[in-house]
Amino acid sequence: MRNLLFLGLLMFLFSCSKVGKTNQTDNLDEKTDVEIPAFSVDSAFAFIQKQVDFGPRVPNTKAHQDCANFLAEKLKSFQAEVIVQEADLRTFDGKTLKAKNIIGSYNLEAKTRILLFAHWDTRPWADHDSDPKNYDTHILGANDGASGVGVLLEVARQFNLQKPEVGVDIIFFDAEDYGAPDKFATEETTHSWCLGSQYWAQNKHKPGYRAKYGILLDMIGAGNAKFYREQVSDYYAKYVVDKVWNQAESLGFSAYFINQTGGAITDDHVYVNQIGGIPSINIIHQELNSETGFGHYWHTVNDTMENIDKNTLNAVGTTLLHVIYNEKP
């Protein structure tokens, strides 16, 4: 009886201390007791808006050049070491793009490094628009382009306020979205997408550059976005998919990060994996039952700010910060 009472008291105390601990350590992760900064969704949203305000960021246009300057300056203002890698890249239709991969690094001395990336260019064609008259319209790319970059700019802002323990490199890849429209697609145009990341993977900004793993954000801003386990990601970096999806689940974001297999997507992570040799995953919004496999706005003139949802940005940004700040050197 006394033992039972004692046990009861012990349990009571334990439960109290647990409640107390949870309250005090709201921003501490149970696993490692690292302090995780709070992702500002308003800041991320503003960074997306800012990019969209330049207009479509199609290579060889003024808006593209202006946005490149903005992105490099922003990273510098957040105390990243910035390298702008310039290249003349040949498109499937014989054009030469003046492309810029914009790279910002933190903790340069750290050997253990994580690579975060997104494409910053936007597609010159709304080739999936319901109105064929819009096919040659440059798209605004609020989601397809600006969303991933906006979240990573906010992540960079946080890195400046509190350094993670590991090294982090952020790359904004150019010329991802100049891939051949379906009506021109042949076997030869398979590699017409992701020109900036292909170039970087063959010409790293630092010879011999390595990272433990990479995470690509692509179309991560739409309302009720669904991130399935993309197949190329699971093939090359299953443990990273597990890590990210488990982290999202423990934060209560399982409605976004769905622990089921999605499609296999040709995207920047393919080249970072296959040529760059860095195990990398793609967090990308897929609509498995839609005609294109993506959201209704995809490669249409409707890829605008109206589709950007702060709840989705919060799920992605918060998950990413937890993953990075939990990494040990």
Residue number with CB closer to ligand AHN (129 or 144):
144
- Verify binding: residue 121, ligand AHN, rule CB under 6 A: no
Question: Could you give the residue ranges of the DSSP H alpha helices within 78-103?
Answer: none
Residue 129 engages Zn ion in binding (rule: CB under 5 A): no
**Interaction of residue 267 with ligand AHN, rule CB under 6 A:** yes
Structural contact between residues 322 and 252, judged by C-beta atoms closer than 8 angstroms = no
Chain CA centroid to CA 285, Å: 11
Cα gap 74→80, rounded to integer Å: 9
- Give the per-residue SS3 of 315-329: HHHHHHHHHHHCCCC
Q: One symbol per residue from 191 to 230: x for binding ligand AHN (CB under 6 A), - otherwise; what is it?
A: --x------------------------x------------
Q: How far is CA 200 from CA 15, 127, 149, 216, in A?
A: 53, 27, 17, 14
Binding residues with Zn ion: total (CB under 5 A): 3
Compute the residue count for the chain.
Answer: 329
Q: Which CB sits closer to Zn ion, 120 or 200? A: 120
The yes or no reply on residue 265 touching ligand AHN (CB under 6 A) is: yes
3-state secondary structure of 27: coil
What is the residue type of 146?
A
With CB under 5 to 8 Å by kind, the binding choice for 193 among ligand AHN, Zn ion, none is ligand AHN
One of 127, 154, 169, 177 touching Zn ion (CB under 5 A): 177
- Beta bridge mates, 89: 97
Residue 303: name its binding partner from Zn ion, ligand AHN, none (Cβ under 5 to 8 Å by kind). Answer: none
Beta carbons within 10 angstroms of residue 32's beta carbon: 13
Interaction partner, residue 267 (Zn ion, ligand AHN, none; CB < 5-8 Å by kind): ligand AHN
Rounded least distance, CB 145 to Zn ion, Å: 7
Structure-token pair, residue 285: 């919004």
Task: In angstroms, give the least distance from the CB of 295 to ligand AHN.
Answer: 11
Q: Which of 127, 144, 218, 303 binds Zn ion (CB under 5 A)?
A: 144
Residue 95 structure tokens: 């054009």
CB of 263 to Zn ion, least distance (A): 15
Between the alpha carbon of residue 197 and those of residues 102, 168, 216, 275, 308, the distances in Å are: 11, 17, 11, 10, 25
Binding site partner of 218, from ligand AHN, Zn ion, none, Cβ cut-off 5-8 A by kind: ligand AHN
Task: Report d(CA 80, CA 104) in Å as an integer.
Answer: 5
Query: Nearest distance from residue 63's CB to ligand AHN, in Å?
Result: 18
Site for Zn ion, rule CB under 5 A: 123, 144, 177
Binding residues (CB under 6 A) for ligand AHN: these are: 144, 177, 179, 193, 218, 265-267
